[in-house]
A and B are shown apart, each in its own frame.
Chain A
Amino acid sequence: MSKTGFCFALLLLIGQLAFAQGRKLPLASLKTLTGETLNSSHILSADSGVVILSFWATWCKPCLHELDNLNEALPTWQKNQSVKLVAVSVDDARNTAKLPAFVAGRGWKFEVLSDANAELKRLMNVVNVPHTFLLNKESKIVYQHTSYAPGDEEELWEKIQALK
């Protein structure tokens, strides 16, 4: 059996392990827009609802489109079930100081946290932004997608409804 076959088998096993059970949210330090340090467990829902965790950056236009659309759709979704949206910005020190003003000017009604040195981004193996995760009531990751085009939030809504 060839070397590549061996590696492939190993990756398959890894894949099985990974998909066999939902991934938990790793522990990392994040900051709020007012400067307090929080543990990433703060992202989880207080009332066993579903959580949408979206990684974005001020310079990432598709991220802004996604969050604007989620901001609009969220009130309607929340009428149906408990859905929490947390947007984690991976902007570095160049833009973190501007975040509170930027978010205010965007009119977003959900929580925004700052991951300035990409600690949580690395722990969650995020390669590019936007990258959005859906956590179920047991706080396990059940769905994720990267990149965004208008309408992607409809697929997200389908997955959320399945978790009701």
Chain B
Amino acid sequence: MNHVTVEIWLWLGKELGEDFKSLSEMRSLKEESVEEGTTIRQLLDSLARYYPPIAQNIFDPKVKEVYPHVVVNYNDQVISPYVVHEQVLRDGDKITVLPVYMGG
């Protein structure tokens, strides 16, 4: 098993419940153990099945994609949806989920 952290920022992290640790007013964190070979997409898919706010705001479990208003960072680097699909998680990896918004 590999241990990874998932950090969710700003309004995407609303109403996630006590399983997520609040790092600050705008950041929520959860540590996850994943099997060897798990991709970022598979991790988000499994989280979406357990946490309805994630299915509603971050990852659409029906089409297995992050929503268009969401961006994912892998180890603090912005990645494209293609990388979300393909990147296999390693021990110690960090996934950050951020909202993309129009304006500002």
Q: A and B bound? A: no
Residues in chain B within 8 A of chain A (CB atoms): none
Residues in chain A within 8 A of chain B (CB atoms): none
